[in-house]
Amino acid sequence: MIKSLISRQSPEIIENFVLEIVDTEDGKNIFSYEPCDGKVLLKGTDTVCLAVAYYHFMRDCCGAYFTADHSLAYGEFSVPAEKSEGEIKAKYRTCFEYTTFSCSACWWNWARWENEIDFMAMNGINMPLATVGTEAVWMKTMLELGMKEGLALASIAGPSFWSWQLSDCFDGYLPQTKKESIDKRLELGRKITDRERELGMTPIFQGFTGYIFRTFIQGKIRARMHKSEEWCLFPSQYQLSARDTMFHKVGTLFYKNQELLLGESKFYLADPFLNHTPAKRKSSFLAGVGTAVYKLISARSDDSVWVIHSSCAKPELLLGIPKDRVLIIDNGELCNDSKYDGYSFIVGTQCNGGDVTALHGDIAGVAANRSDKLNASGVGTFSDGAFSNEAFRQYSYAAVSGDSDVDKWLAKYTKNRYGTDSSAAFEAMMLLKKSCWHGGQPAREHASAVCTRPSVSLRHTAIGDSGSEIGYNISDVFAAAQKLIEADGKTYEYELDLCDVLRQSLSDLANTVCKKALEGYKNKDVELFEQNTNLFLDIIEDMDRLLLTKKEFSLPYHLSIARELGSDDAEKQNFEINLLTQITIFGPIKDTVLYDCCWKEWGGMLSTFYALRWRALFEQLAMSFGKFHRISEKTKNQVFDRDAYLGTEFGGALSRIEKEWIATYTPDDESVGKENTVDVAKDLVAKYAANF
């Protein structure tokens, strides 16, 4: 089916390619392109390798690059002067986490998915995670167990939260309202998995862990089960006892329906205790759960494999299970632990968890994270994001297929994507490489002061982030934005990257300015406080102006594509509420510890939501400036090293502001794209140059 990929991505030149599948005696995965009687001969050991060969030719000889929606743009066709070949050393190459499907991929239609699947193939992915359509699998399973349709539908979380439900965090949060939408998701999911198979990929499917929805109890389905602890204030979940016959019955029915609706697979991702501690600590209990999970997976086929994250892969859980039937997704630590000798590993690169808008990551470390350098059988790239941090994301995919020279790759990226030979574009990438992409950084992005829920002390924006300390010279990122302006690129994607780099630079400046404002309050320095609060709010407004020049960085655009999936006004509103809730308070709605965990520096949101919150705090600080009793720096109770959501009177006031915004926000669609990105960027660089 490589011909169909070429036809989709470059229909005008499809007749210029000759394709050949080749065998290798040593089982290596190789790909190459070479001249052949005025055409291009593409060779590969399988369909995915042929896709990699095609992309490498298009990139090297035709100036091709991936557009904002991951379709392929290219210049004039040119036959290569000589042969070029490469090898993909990893056996397993995967991408996506569960959460990806409720973040950036949440609202993708089939046209967008077609491009993404081709993008994956051209970068060597051969076993992507696939969860679209699992809503229908669970719906059918519940109905066949005797549950009423309304109760079953209420069990399925809305699009922005379904991924967390698949990870056994909660169920039925801001749920789906129409079975027709479940059916549409199934239709899309089947198209995705069928296309992945056509291109030689084997999708990773969801595995059954024993967790069931609370509505199983309401549906009077009797079984022995263990009640889990609450996850982040959401109601407790229930896990069927591995010794109860219902574990096997429900699991068998789930797998049968998944195969019927989405087709067969070989790989099943099952993390029994990813977000909950085991109900019992005994090794025999863990072994019993592991045996029950594996028994269902092994019944799928003679070579089916249990895929599990390293944080869940306790030796006791895997006790007695054949090592060749287990594949562990790792961060690079367990694969060199002698306790796990004999297991297969996928070592992955993570970035932009929760789809936060941030330039971040150890880009040189991506190149080192290869199976041939580690005791691993595979590599993976796990990003929740799209649009922001695109160069890092694309390199994490390129490294899967063997691109190990970061500088060489970045040189091609800037030349092709920006349509310019200017050295300034590459110099910009080198500045990012030494700053926000430098080695030795924390795994998670540093906090955005703009998106932090306002308090007297800046701490953490999101669960698991690295705090408010930036860890690099912010003037380097600003200089990168200046270099990009100097490069004078010619493409839409050049403007996207310029917008993103300048956004990061202004966000970093806002971090510094906000700290000075809060320092002014603590030290009763009126001038320092007023000067920096005004500058901070100006930066937010200017960031909003910049980001509104590109739809990909604007809230109105993302709301519009969410609404498009709704079949009537009620469902459109439900999908809007899903998106707005996820990127703000997350939930539960009454009281939450996950607020701002999916923060977005988006146009249309910075000025209407984040600036609104900060103004509320600054006004209260100004009123209490000369008083003896000052506003406390943190709440009495701290969760994840952050203030309790309703821990203060001001926190309660913020809660009302946030929930009113979710309920009443009306996107200004006409505000998107009114100004030119480069023109606005030049204005803002001139305005803020003295601050760096």
- Give the tens place of pLDDT for each residue, 615-637: 999 999 998 887 767 777 788 88
Q: Are 454 and 654 in contact (CB under 8 A)?
A: yes
* Whole-number average pLDDT of the chain: 94
Considering the domain architecture, whether residues 298 and 435 belong to the same structural domain is answered as no
β 267-269/204-206 pair status:
parallel
User: 130: which 2 tokens?
Assistant: 């696939």
Query: Which position has the token pair 């992915």?
Result: 125
The answer to whether residues 40 and 151 belong to one domain is no
> Quick check: is 200 in a domain?
yes
Distance CA 580, CA 585 (A): 9
Q: What is the pLDDT of residue 104?
A: 83
In a domain, 341, yes or no: no
- CATH (domain of 643): 1.20.120.670
In a domain, 376, yes or no: no
| CA distances to 60, 207, 323, 510 from 270, in Å | 40, 5, 16, 41
Distance of CA 198 to the CA centre of its chain: 25
* CATH number of the structural domain spanning residue 233: 3.20.20.80
Task: Give the dihedral sign, CA 75/77/83/87.
Answer: positive
Between CA 557 and CA 548 the distance in angstroms is 10
Which is nearest to 55 in space by CA: 89, 94, 5?
Answer: 5
Judge if 83 and 142 occupy the same domain.
no
What is the structure's pLDDT at 428?
A: 98
Write down which residue in 274, 298, 332 finishes a domain: 332
Is 367 domain-assigned? Answer: no
Residue 196 sits at the vertex; the CA angle it makes with 195 and 201, to the nearest 5 degrees, is 150
Domain CATH for 63:
3.30.379.10
* Same-domain pairing of 66 and 158: no
**φ and ψ at 446, to 5 degrees?**
-70, 160
Domain of residue 206 covers 97-332
**Residue 603 resides in a domain:** yes
Q: How many domains does the chain have?
A: 3
Domain boundary among 63, 88, 113: 88
- Strand pairing report for 378-383 and 29-36: unpaired
Residue 385 covered by a domain: no
In a domain, 563, yes or no: yes
Task: Give the span between the Cα atoms of 463 and 439, in whole angstroms.
Answer: 22
Q: What is the pLDDT of residue 628?
A: 63
Same domain, 112 and 61: no
Distance of CA 500 to the CA centre of its chain: 17
Same domain (yes/no): 29, 104: no
Token pair 């901070």 is found at 536
Domain boundary among 287, 317, 332: 332
Predicted confidence at residue 349, as pLDDT, reads 86
pLDDT of 79 reads 95
The CA distance from 230 to 235, in Å, is: 6
Mean pLDDT of 92-104: 93
User: Taking the alpha carbons of 673, 676, 681, 687 in that order, is the dihedral positive or negative?
Assistant: negative
Cα separations in angstroms, 420 against 336, 411, 414, 484, 486:
44, 11, 8, 11, 11
In this predicted structure, the answer to whether residue 369 has a pLDDT above a threshold of 80 is no
User: Are 194 and 232 found together in one domain?
Assistant: yes
User: In 297-331, which positions are buried (b, 16+ CB within 10 angstroms) versus exposed (e)?
Assistant: bbebeeebbbbbbbebbbebbbeebeeebbbbbbe
pLDDT at 371 over 80: no
Residue 569: other Cβ atoms inside 10 A? 9
Distance CA 597, CA 593 (A): 9
What is the average per-residue pLDDT within 544-571? 96
Q: What are phi and psi of 650, to 5 degrees?
A: -65, -35
d(CA 77, CA 33): 14
Yes or no: say if 225 and 160 are a contact pair by the CB < 8 Å rule.
no
Per-residue pLDDT of 15-73, as tens digits, reads 999 999 998 878 889 999 999 999 999 999 999 999 999 999 999 999 999 999 999 99
> Would you say residue 397 lies in a domain?
no
pLDDT digits (tens, 9 = 90+) for 601-611: 999 999 999 99
Helix (H, G, I), strand (E, B) or coil at 297: helix
* 253 and 326 housed in the same domain: yes
Asked if residue 663 and residue 541 are part of one domain, the reply reads yes
- Residues 122 and 73 occupy one common structural domain: no
DSSP structural state of residue 231 = B
Q: Which residues pair with 211 in a beta bridge?
A: 239
Q: Over 80: is that where the pLDDT of 399 sits? A: yes
Both 521 and 560 in one domain: the answer is yes
- Using a pLDDT cut of 90, give the percent of the chain over it: 82
Give the torsion sign (CA, 12, 15, 16, 18).
Answer: positive
Per-residue pLDDT band for 157 (boundaries 50, 70, 90) equals very high
Q: Which of 17-21, 153-157, 438-442 has the least mean pLDDT?
A: 438-442
DSSP alpha helix (H) spans, 353-437:
363-368, 390-398, 406-418, 423-434
The predicted structure's pLDDT at residue 220? 64
Report pTM: 0.96
Out of 254-258, 366-370, 485-489, which region has the weakest mean confidence (pLDDT)? 366-370
Q: Is the pLDDT of residue 338 over 80?
A: yes
Query: Residue 378's closest CA among 204, 209, 259, 262?
Result: 204
Q: How many H helices and E strands in the chain?
A: 22, 18
- Give per-residue burial for 130-148: e unless 16+ CB within 10 Å, then b: bbbbbbbbbbbbbbebebe
Mean pLDDT of 250-259: 97
Whether residues 256 and 304 fall in one domain:
yes
Q: What span, in angstroms and rounded, lies between the C-alpha atoms of 288 and 249?
A: 16
Confidence class for position 85, pLDDT limits 50, 70, 90 = very high
